[in-house]
Structure 1
Amino acid sequence: MCVLWPDVLPSPTPDDEVDLVVYDAASPLPESACDADVFVVWARPGHLLPDDARRLRSVRLVQGLMAGTDALVDAGFGDDVTLCSGVGLHDATVSEHTLALILALVRRLPTLVDAQRESEWCSDLAGHQPLHPEGPVTTLLDANVLVWGFGSIATTLAPMLAALGAHVRGVARSAGERAGFEVVSADDVDAVLPETDVLVSLLPGTPETRHVLDARRLALLPDRAFVVNVGRGSVLDEEALVAALEAGTLGGAALDVMETEPLPEDSPLWTAPRTLLTPHCAGGRPVGYADLVQQNLAALRTGEGWRNRVR
């Protein structure tokens, strides 16, 4: 079995049945690699994937190590090719980064960093402060946090937020309880947005989620609310977000993902008020990837025991 392995990750020790071929993740595949049985995808530019799908003549398994597989699904691999995702590999790191973004907004770190650069003592935030002042929230204690896209990352993040005193609810396709947290249906999200202090999006990028956070929904949030997007940039109407921030109808925003990446130099997000941007770096370090690949190589041989099979 020939397995194509990206050069950006340490390769595991192959067993006797695996011929491991390391490829350049940033370049088109060489012709000598196009008879591979398995294609492990990580840090691969999306524009190369349609060419991969066309040229990999014998591929039976495409194992993505990213949580979202929209780029793999859209690449055009044949219906006889099994696609698997990296769901679960990024739960800890994305949760960690998301928590950092939320705390940075709540504790006014961008404002404090700006003051430090100007050698200014930020007197408005120094000394005695009310716990729950008017305006944007300043603590997670008793804050209402709504996590839209309540999958494996959310079930890791939610207990972290709850441990800091937040009241956490999720949004998913169907209502119920997950990991001990109340989850409301996406059809009912408009009813809970007006009572939300922090809205976290972990939504995947699909045609159904495109601009699901539009001007109308942003307007349903209270003026004190923060918006944090660590899912996919396409779910958020960036023009509507900037307009709300400039109008003062949102407390602030933190984005790790944008609709166009890298973010263009002329994007109004760079100068939007009360906005923190990070360059799609919440994940980037799949944890336990070797075990996932080994499990799905075994499943490819036996037809049983698939993990994270998308198609």
Structure 2
Amino acid sequence: MRTSPTRFIRALNTHLTTAAAANPPHRTMKLLYPTSLAFNEQAITGFPDLTLHPYDVNAPIPDSLIDAEILVTWTNTNLADAFARMKKLRWIQSLAAGPNDVLSAGFATTSSLTITTGSGLHDRTVAEHTLGLLLAAARRLHEMRDFQLQGKWPGHLGGPQPDRPAGSFRTLRDARILIWGFGNIAKTLTPHLLALGATVRGAARRPGIRDGIEVFAEDKLPELLPETDALVMILPGDPSTDNALNAERLALLPKHAWVVNVGRGSAVDEDALAGALDAGRLGGAALDVFKTEPLPAESRLWKTKNLIVSPHAAGGRPQGAEELIVENLKRFLAGEELKNVI
């Protein structure tokens, strides 16, 4: 029986519609990477359905890129614009260890979006800077610089000196170092401290043995702080750590102890710390992070006795960003859980 032309056209249209539904047009996925760091685009290879696009972190996202599914962020000031306009985003890879800027822009409320951090990318640089601050404190390099600027000879810091005097932080050898916030950075720092003869203990939310170091729960701080020559703080920034080092805990530290903070400025009660230093109730402090950055000109910390101001310089240079992105891309395309999901 012959099929009428009308029926044939209808059947053909039905077939084409079904085929189109089963085989939708091929679409390439877009990944946007920031121009705020030297990014090796050639390292992101082996993904034929992916195109890479640089973007300015201080300008609105171009209209041609707002349909991107993946956004890599670093020192962005345009995240509010991205949140308002990039409705097809499925994954944000922050290169910061703590992506507070991404969360505060509104992305924390998007349930269909995965946010991953740059945890691990700053371990070596922050560990190195922390070691430098500890050595500067122990060897009094800040005092030497102050005398140099005055054209004076700091004779009290040179010549014959007592070897590891009791009740003083003058060397890392036999120094009792407590690292509060014992994560990847602490694990990177610890071998250098041990090599210089220090004794290292950790404090964290959960106790245990990590890389051979005993880590105590935070409820043990009243016992740990009085036995500490230098307290290294690498706490994350969240409401539970606000003013974690307060006046009460500062009073538990020995009079000669130093505080080094390379975590988050919000973790230290700055007024209480400055008061303890100016009153001579604490040996000194080296701070790389502050509640307000840049540190305001009127801040009392500029003139606080025995305080080293470091301008959030410990990190700032993510290492291995491309490797992390490739690893997470593989997992993302395979439908697997990504690394460093918050």
Is TM-score (shorter-chain normalized) higher than 0.5?
yes
The residue aligned with 1:67 is 97
* 1:237 is aligned to 2:269: yes
Q: How does 1:84-233 map to 2 (within 5 A)?
A: 84-133=116-165, 135-233=167-265
Task: List alignment gaps of at least 5 residues for structure 2.
Answer: 1-28
Q: Whole-Å Cα distance in 1 between the matches of residues 295 and 58 of structure 2?
A: 20
Q: Whole-Å Cα distance in 2 between the matches of residues 86 and 309 of structure 1?
A: 10
**SS in structure 1 at match of 2:115:** strand
Task: List alignment gaps of at least 5 residues for structure 1.
Answer: none
Q: Whole-Å Cα distance in 1 between the matches of residues 58 and 233 of structure 2?
A: 29
**SS in structure 2 at match of 1:177:** strand
Aligned AA (2:265): G
Give the root-mean-square deviation of aligned CA atoms: 1.4
* 1:3 is aligned to 2:28: no
Larger RCO, structure (CA 8 Å, separation 6 or more):
1
Aligned AA (2:32): L
Shift of 1:75: 2.9
Shift of 1:43: 1.6
Residues matched between the structures, number: 308
**SS in structure 2 at match of 1:203:** coil
The residue aligned with 1:23 is 55
- Are residues 123 and 217 of structure 1, via their aligned partners in 2, closer, same or farther at CA, if it must alter by over 3 Å? same
Q: Whole-Å Cα distance in 1 between the matches of residues 105 and 36 of structure 2?
A: 21
Greater Cα offset, 246-255 or 292-301: 292-301
The alignment-based identity, stated in percent, is: 48
* 1:58 is aligned to 2:94: no
Greater Cα offset, 62-71 or 256-265: 62-71
Equivalent residue in structure 2 for 1:261, among 293, 308, 313? 293
Shift of 1:134: 5.3
The residue aligned with 2:41 is 12
Who wins on radius of gyration, i.e. which is larger? 2
- The Cα offsets for residues 84-141 of structure 1, whole Å up to 9 and x where unpaired, read as 1111111111000000001001100000111122222211111111123355310011
The residue aligned with 2:19 is none
Task: With the length of structure 1 as denominator, give the TM-score of the two structures.
Answer: 0.95
- The Cα offsets for residues 130-171 of structure 1, whole Å up to 9 and x where unpaired, read as 123355310011111000110000000011111111100011
Q: Whole-Å Cα distance in 2 between the matches of residues 136 and 33 of structure 1?
A: 58
* 1:44 is aligned to 2:109: no
Greater Cα offset, 182-191 or 301-310: 301-310
Shift of 1:176: 1.1
